[in-house]
Structures are given as C-alpha cells and as structure tokens.
Structure 1
Amino acid sequence: MRINNITPNYYNTESHRVSCIVPAYNAVNTLSGCIYGLVNQTYQNLEIIIVDDGSKDGTGMLCDEYAEQYANVRVIHQGNSGVSIARNAGLKQATGDRIFFVDADDEVLPTYVEKLIAEDADWVLGGYQNGAHRIELKNERYNHSEIPRFFLSHFHRLYTTVPWGKLYRTSIIKDQELKFDPRIRLGEDLVFNLNYLLYCNSIALIPSVGYRYIQEGVGAEKYHLHAEEIAYTIRQVDSSADMLRKKYGGASFCCRDIKRTLIGTYPLTRILDGDSEYETLYLKTFPDKDKKYLWNDVLCSPYLRGKRYIKYYIKSYRIAAALHMMRKLLFACCKYYV
C-alpha cells in the first residue's frame, strides 16, 4: 500500500528537528490515514518513528513499506508489550529536540507540526477534533510562577492529560529520565504528563485544531481494570501532586476530580453484579464521603454511568445491549435504595 504525496510548502528547514512517535498495534485499517498526515507535514525537519507492538494483522509489514518509501520514517518492531513500553522504545530512539505523539488510529492536518513548533515553550498544547466535537484553546502562555494557575485552569481537561495534541521538549524527558509506567494500563499518559509538568518552566496554549482524535465506543470498559490497578495509579497521581506542591511552595495542585475520573473507569458490569470493590475503593480514596454520595457522584455514580452506556448503545443501534443494561441498572438501583 502506498500513500499519494501532496506537494508540501516547506519552510524554516534549519530550525528544530522534531520526532513523532506512533505506537501501533493491529492498526492495519487506520495506520494509512495517520501516516498520510505525517509524511505530508509542511514542517520538513521531522522524523517519524512507528513502534509496531507485536501486531498480528499485517501492521508490521505496512510499517516496513512506509520506511522503504519515506526516508524520514523509521520502524521499531517489538513483541506485544503494551502502549507504554512502545512509547518508551520510541523515546529511546528519538533524535529530535522536540517530541510529539500520535496514536495510530488518529490523524493530523498537514500544518499540525508547523503550528506547534512556532511557539518556544517547554510544553505546547493545541486543540483537537473528535467527530463534530471541536475543542479550540485560547492563545495563552504560562511562565514558571504561573504553572499552578495553569494546572487549576486546565489539567482536568482531556487535552492536558493525554499524550497527543502537544509538543514536548526532549531534553526534559531525557535529562529527567521520564518514562511511561507499563504497570498502568489506563492513565499512564496522565501520570507521565504530571511528572513532565514538574520540570516545565513555560507552557503555551495555541488555538490551532490540527489533531483529529478518533474515539470508538466507551473505551475505559474494555480494560477490565481491577481496584488495585486504579489504586496504584491514584498513588502515582498523589505522589506527583505532592512534588508539584513542594516545588511551588504549597500551591494548590488538587487532583480530586482526576482521582474521581480514574475511579470511574472501574468496570460497570462488575459493579452491577454486586462487586463491593468499587465502593471500597471510592470510600478509601475519599474517606470524608459515604456510600450514598458515591451513587450521586457525577463522575463515579454507577447509575449515571449506566445511563451514558444506554444512550451510547441506543445511538449505535445496539438495542438488545441497551435493554440489558437498563434491566441490570434498575435491579442495582432498587437493591441500593431499598
């Protein structure tokens, strides 16, 4: 499979070298769109590192074809080890002094890198589009003493907690030996970004929306996370927040909503089957709350989560699944409130 080239409008070719890391696992159906946007960037000084994470669907062969066709594409093949180890492998091989990540099922516009690299900051964040949903950031800049304000204003939003949609300074990652934690299956990017934030002295937000985030389904449920996994991630979040508070003289780095979001990734099906681990995890994390508060918590409530699933199933014409969820949710609610 080959990608038809467009004629890029190259500019500023003597400036920073930028490395793009693309972890790919069984992505043969989406990788072409991802790579098409990358090889046709208007910014020329770019290397693209695709990490084939033990794919079994032909992704590895497709990656090799791109490496043969494009001089700035490199491929790393590894046994299936997960997205964190894949990203870490890419970080180890990156030669650019700026780094960004793109997921293999997402796409970027041709001017994506050009817009990000135009800002000289330790961390540059842009907006994204998910279907008809468009997130466009205001043009803002935060220097060292203002980073606590950046955290309070933005760090509860998706565009700050994910690895994509932003540009990192390589020297910070390598000097501080920052890595994605392979023990975390969901939230590894959030913890990585918190650790990266600890060493940032400047952050720029740009209004450009050059990243197309393609999300399928209600993703968190597929991980079937256990309570201890979520608790471990919460401990890493608390540790990072403590270090940030110390650095900034006790400034507020409240992660309460972040922890609620993490708790809300516990499998709903397990909760509705009567599993008590969920309640135990919530009450241990927030000892000032009770069981009733859990069921009314906007982010964690099994009832509200179930309603979101029902809407998703109906929207995707999965009526049987919607009815099944309705029955389980009704039974669980009656059992709880009685």
Structure 2
Amino acid sequence: MEEKNHYMEDIPIIKQNTLISIIVACYNVEQFLPRCIESIMAQTYKNLEIILIDDGARDNTGNICDHYKTLDERIVVVHQTNGGAAVARNEGIKLARGQYIGFVDGDDYIEPYMYEYMLSAMLTTDAELSVCRYFEDSQEDLKKARTYRKKGLVHIKDDGKAKEIVERGVRLLELTGGEALKEYVEESDKIVIRNAPWNKLYKAELLDEVSFPVQRYYEDILFSAQILSKVRKVAYIDTPLYHYIINRKGGAMGAGLRKEILTEQIPSYHARSELLEEIGRRDLAASHDYMVYKKLLLLYTEARRDKTGEKKKFMEPLAEEIKTCANQMYRVFSCDIADPHQKMRMELFLKNPKFYDLFMDLNEGIVLPLRQKFSGGHKK
C-alpha cells in the first residue's frame, strides 16, 4: 500500500477524450430521480454517457427519464420489465460504450467532481479500479442544515442554500488487488470499499466476464468479490464523493429482517467464501466467515427481540445456519481479526441458545450501562 500526496488537477475539456459510461438503475424513485440525474449532468468531467434504465417503474420514473433525455444528448434511456437492480445494471453494461463504467442509484446523488477525481486517480496510479468514500445521508439530514468537514472537502449547507468550498488536494492510496481484497473482506473503516458498486469506477474490461448475479437483493456481494479478485491495482480516494441515502421510505435496504436474507444474502456469502478458497486466499475465507457468523448472531438477536412477532419466524433458520460454525470453530476463530469475546459468544450459543440469549440480555441491559456509568461515559 502506498500513499500519494495527490493533487487532483482539472482535466481540460479538450483532453476529456476518455468516455465514461454511468449506469443508473431506476425503480419507483420519482421523488429523488431529478436530483440524481442533474448531479450527473453537472459533472466537471463532461465526456459521459448517461444510461438510465427504467426498471419497470410504476410511478413517474419512466417519464422523468424521457424528459431529461430531451435536455441532454448524452442521456440514453431504456424502459424494461421490472427485473431488479441486477438485471438493470447488466443491461446497462451491455449497452455501455465507455472505456470506464460507473454506477449510481436513482435515489442517490454525487458530488460534481466525482468522476473527474475518480478517473484522475486511476490514470495517476495506472489502476483498473478506483474507490471513494461516501456520505450516508438520511432523508431527515437532507432537510436540516449541516456541515461536512472531511479530508479534501468542505461542504457547507445552511438553511437549504448550498455553498461549496473545494480543496482539490486529497489523500490517495495505491493498493494492490490483494490489499484491496483484504480491506474489503475485513470491512475496514479506514479504507471503505464495501459491496456497493456505486462508490467505484471500473475499467470496462473488468466487466467483460463479470456480471451481477440475477437475484432481487444482495447481488453485489459476489459481484464485488469477483471484481476485487481480478484487479491488479486499486486507487482509493479518502474523500467522500457519493451521497448514499439511507432509511428512505420504501427503500429496499431499509426493510430490516426479511426472507431474502435466508434465500439470497446467506447463499451469496457462501458463494463469496467459496470464491476466496478457489483463488487460494484461505486466510481471507476464514476472516470472511468470521464476519458472517458475527452478523448472523446479531440478526438472530434482532429476530428474538422483535416485539411485533414478524421477525421471530427467522430465529430457527438463523439458528440452524449459526450451528454450522460448530465444525469450523478453529478455522474461523483463528483468523487475524477474530475477537475472543466473539468466540465466547459463539461457544455459548452452540452450547445452548438460551444461555446465549440470557447473556446478551444481561450484558446489554445491565453490564454495559454500568460500565458506561462508572467509566464516566454517561452524559448528563
């Protein structure tokens, strides 16, 4: 891993001869789509192909796409039967003519210099993939005045009137593919890569043999692992350039526990673990499985504590999945990132889930509050 003191230079319009294709999957996002499209149209990097995929939306999304097509000749619109984000993105990849490809979700938006920065970082490091940090904005946040202060960016909002001050120097890290894959699997907070395709810019050749698995949800889990297992070099921009809208009413990722966790998310985790084994990264496969079992224990606790009873139906299948850890305890909990406390919790669960339930209730209801109180962590 190498850190570069990089100064993102303006790419003059006359030198913007590299085409970037931006694929936007749109489904029932009429309230947010204009902001999304306009943020792409306003990019400082102008040589764009903007592919809007109307994925069978039932609201006014399709008409909005058609309207913006009349305003900007760079926009291509496709209307198709609803098939989900994976199908929409795959269709966009087939149509893309650019040497580089990016993705934006129809309810999100981007900073005006995002793709200028992303491409500049790739050209500087000779990387096949660039990744940036991102903001997490709730709908409530967007209605309030707030100030961001991040490395390389000061973004000030005051009572709905936006003022931007851009410092063009950013922290740029050059990672090998193996280093990036490790940060991704271990879900590093210092180098935030994650599953999402939208905080990345891909060299088009990477997508020649890799596409999104055709499923309704969690399609990016295996996709991102496949991409990162192929790349030689990754440029990481330690500055947030993408605005990811969280907790959107009606949004798929805000739905909490649901059957697709069992039918699509967990199978995707298994497929990703198998991929890591296949490419000879048994160390990362162990770290990956450790992270998965940790999440499953949290999901089990969430299901058990559900007051409505809607989530309790997930307890038994989650418990059965967690019990598969029994035959691989040593492998999973000998990985570099394993926490001894997490191992104790798993052993307790495998011995008797009711003991685990009691421990979690006592720990979170009594032990942690007392620890915070006597450590001075409480607030008056």
Identify the TM-score tier after normalising by the shorter chain.
0.7 to 0.9
Match of 2:175 among 142, 151, 171: 142
How far is 1:257 from its partner?
4.5
2:133 to 127, 131, 153: 127
Alignment CA distance shift 1:223-1:128 (3 Å)? same
Is the partner of 1:213 in helix, strand or coil? strand
Who is 2:233 aligned against? 202
Task: Say whether residues 1:151 and 2:181 are aligned partners.
Answer: yes
Query: Is the contact between residue 119 and residue 201 of structure 2 (CA under 8 Å) also seen in structure 1?
Result: yes
Q: CA deviation at 1:251?
A: 5.8
Pick the structure with greater CA Rg: 2
Q: State how 1:57-206 maps to structure 2 within 5 Å.
A: 57-120=59-122, 121-131=127-137, 138-143=171-176, 147-155=177-185, 156-157=187-188, 159-174=193-208, 176=209, 178-183=210-215, 185-206=216-237
Question: Aligned to 2:121, what secondary structure does the other structure show?
Answer: coil
- Separation in structure 2 between the aligned mates of residue 296 and residue 128 of structure 1, nearest angstrom: 40
Structure 1 residues 150 and 9, CA gap change in structure 2 (3 angstroms): closer
Q: Which amino acid aligns with 2:50?
A: I
Which of 272, 285, 302 aligns to 2:312? It is 272
Task: Give SS of 1:23's match.
Answer: strand
| TM-score, scaled to structure 1 | 0.74
Deviations 1:75-128, CA, capped at 9 Å, x for gaps: 111111111101101111010011111111111011010000002211101111
Q: Comparing both structures, which one devotes a greater share of its residues to strand?
A: 2
Could you tell me how far 1:42 is from its partner in structure 2? 0.6
Of 349, 361, 365, which residue of structure 2 is paired with 1:292? 349
**Aligned pairs, number:** 287
Corresponding residue for residue 320 of structure 1 = none
Partner of 2:198, secondary structure, is: coil
Structure 2 unaligned spans of 5+: 1-9, 138-145, 152-169, 330-345, 366-380
Q: Is the 8 A contact 2:16 2:46 kept in 1?
A: no
Q: 1:78 to 1:285 in 2, by over 3 A?
A: farther
Cα shift readout 1:218-238 (whole Å, capped 9, x = no counterpart): 725164325343332122111
CA deviation after TM superposition for structure 1 residue 191, in Å: 1.0
Could you tell me which runs of 5 or more consecutive residues in structure 1 were left unpaired when the two chains were aligned.
1-7, 308-338
Computed over aligned residues only, the root mean square deviation of the Cα atoms, in angstroms, reads 3.3
TM-score (norm 2): 0.67
Structure 1's 295 and 53: CA in aligned 2 closer, same or farther, altered over 3 A? farther
Deviation at 1:244, TM superposition (A): 2.9
Distance in 1 separating the partners of 2:348 and 2:171: 39
Q: Distance in 2 between matches of 1:122 and 1:103?
A: 22
Question: CA contact under 8 A between 1:13 and 1:45: conserved in structure 2?
Answer: no
Q: Shift of the alpha carbon at 1:160?
A: 2.6
AA partner of residue 180 (structure 2): F
For the 8 Å contact 1:24–1:50, the answer to whether it is kept is: yes
State yes or no: 1:256 paired with 2:256. no
Q: CA deviation at 1:23?
A: 0.3
Which has the higher mean CA deviation after the structures are superposed, 210-219 or 10-19? 10-19
2:193 is paired with a residue of what secondary structure? helix
